């Protein structure tokens, strides 16, 4: 997948590791799984390494969650997100979550 305008690299729900350089902008593009809610709470474990930025192309298609981060200094950070079961109102709903994480190494 090609990064969106203004981004140097991109990860999707298929990626688990990426190495980028200080100053690079990373686009996170997460597609909802069937029967699941959209991904939410996309965040960095260390904002001194990977800080959130506004995604200029943040108009996502239905079922797609977009987020952006910029590499501030060399180090490691985890970008994480979560999703739950998508249930109709009044329907019994299983209480489980799916977690996503990608390890980012900044050089």
Residue 18 within any structural domain of the chain: yes
Residue 17: beta bridge partners?
Answer: 103
List Cβ neighbours of 20 (8 Å cut-off, separation of 6 or more). 8, 9, 26, 71, 104, 105, 106, 107
Give domain status of residue 2, yes or no: no
Give the residue with greater pLDDT, 82 vs 60: 82
Residue 41 lies in a domain: yes
Domain that holds residue 59: 9-106
pTM to 2 decimal places: 0.87
pLDDT of 46 reads 98
Query: What mean pLDDT is reported for the chain?
Result: 90
CA–CA separation, 89 and 44 (whole Å):
32
Contacts with 40 (C-beta within 8 Å, 6 or more apart), sequence order:
65, 81, 82, 83
CATH number of the CATH domain containing 99: 2.60.40.2020
Q: Is residue 37 part of a domain?
A: yes
In a domain? residue 36: yes
Q: How many domains does the chain have?
A: 1
Is pLDDT of 29 > 90? yes
CB 12 within 8 A of CB 60: no
């Amino acid at each position: 997948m090609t990064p969106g305008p203004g981004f140097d690299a991109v990860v999707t729900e298929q990626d688990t590791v990426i190495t980028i350089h200080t100053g690079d902008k990373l686009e996170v593009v997460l597609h909802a799984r069937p029967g699941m809610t959209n991904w939410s709470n996309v965040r960095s474990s260390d904002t001194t390494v990977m800080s959130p930025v506004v995604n200029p192309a943040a108009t996502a298609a239905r079922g797609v969650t977009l987020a952006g981060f910029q590499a501030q200094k060399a180090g490691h950070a985890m970008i994480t997100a979560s999703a739950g079961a998508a249930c109709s109102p009044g329907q019994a709903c299983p209480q489980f979550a799916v977690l996503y994480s990608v390890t980012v190494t900044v050089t």
